[in-house]
Amino acid sequence: MLEIKDLTVSLDGKVLLSDINISVNDGARHLLSGHNGSGKSTLVSVISGNPEYKIEKGTIKFNGKDITTENATTRALLGIFTGAQNVPEIPGLSVLSFLKHSSVAHTHFETGKDLSMGEFLTELEKARAKLDIPKEWLNRSINVGFSGGERKRLMLLRLLLTKPIFAILDEPDSGADETVQKQTADIIKEMKNTTFLFISHQHNFTEMIKPTEITTLSKGKVITNK
C-alpha cells in the first residue's frame, strides 16, 4: 500500500529524516514508534504532503503510484486520510459543512458521481449514532470549544464517512479517555478495507489494536522494521 525508499527530508536547511525505508502492507495496522523527537510526526507530515518539508531525495509510492511530488489535496483524494495530533480551530466553518464538502469531493473523485444530500445525511446519521456524537456538535465550528477527547471523536466521524483506503493517525489516543481510546481501537479493527499507519506512546492502547507491523525511528532514522 505504501512504499518509502531512501527518503531524506529537511526543514529550513536542517535534515530531519535520513534514508528512510518503510513498507506498509495492504490491510496492515502498522505502528510507528520511537521517542519524542525521533521523526515520527515529521514522517507523517511528509507522507500527507505538507509543503513545509523539502524532500532531498527518495520516493514515496502509494498504491503503486509515485506521489513524491503530489500535493496534499491529491493525496487525500487518492485515499490518504490524516488524523493529525493537533488540528486547528476553524471559526465559522461548521462540522456539518466540513464533512459534507469532504464527502462530496471524495465521492466525485472516486466515482465521478455527485453525492446527494439525502445520501450524505443517511451516512452521517449512521456514523454519528455509532460514535454517540450529539447532533448539536454538527452545527458548531470545527474544534472550537471541543475537548481533546471530543476532537478525537470528530476525527473518527470523518474517518467513518470518508472510508479511506489508507489512514494515518498521529497519536489518536492523546487527550482521549479510556472510552474514546477503546472506541478508536475498535473502529481501527473493524475497518478491514483500510490500512492504518499510527503513532502511539501508550502500551495499553497499542495492545488493544494489536499492530501487525512495527517500525521504530530514532534521530530521524529507521532502527527496526518488523
Averaged pLDDT, 33-38? 90
> What's 28's DSSP letter?
-
**φ/ψ of residue 143, rounded to 5:** 65, 0
Which SS3 state, helix, strand or coil, does residue 104 take? helix
Would you state the pLDDT for residue 1?
93
Report DSSP letters for 125-157, one per residue: HHHHHHHT--GGGGGSEETTT--HHHHHHHHHH
E-strand ranges in 34-79 read 54-62, 65-66
Q: How far apart are CA 175 and CA 217, in angstroms?
A: 23
Averaged pLDDT, 120-137? 93
Type of residue at 144: V
pLDDT tens readout for residues 168-225: 999 988 878 899 899 999 999 999 999 999 998 888 899 999 999 999 999 999 998 7
Q: What percent of the chain has pLDDT over 70?
A: 100
User: Would you say 151 and 143 are in contact if contact means Cβ atoms under 8 Å apart?
Assistant: yes
Angle between helices 117-131 and 95-111 (to 10 degrees): 120
Residue 120 neighbours by CB under 8 Å, 6+ apart: 99, 100, 103, 104
pLDDT tens readout for residues 16-31: 999 999 999 999 999 9
Q: Does this model's pTM top 0.85?
A: yes
Would you state the pLDDT for residue 110?
78
Would you state the pLDDT for residue 201?
84
User: Would you say 120 and 172 are in contact if contact means Cβ atoms under 8 Å apart?
Assistant: no
Q: How far apart are CA 124 and CA 120, in angstroms?
A: 6
Helix (H) or strand (E) holding 205: helix 203-209
pLDDT tens readout for residues 52-101: 999 999 999 999 999 999 999 999 999 999 998 777 889 999 999 999 98
Residue burial 125-157, b: 16+ Cβ < 10 Å; e: rest: eebbeebebeeebbebbbbeebeebbbbbbbbb
Would you state the pLDDT for residue 80?
95
Q: Which domains are present in the chain? A: 2-225 (3.40.50.300)
Would you state the pLDDT for residue 27?
94
Q: How far apart are CA 188 and CA 202, in angstroms?
A: 16
Residue 182 neighbours by CB under 8 Å, 6+ apart: 208
- CA 4 from chain centre, in angstroms, equals 17
Which pLDDT band holds residue 148 (cuts at 50, 70, 90)?
Answer: confident
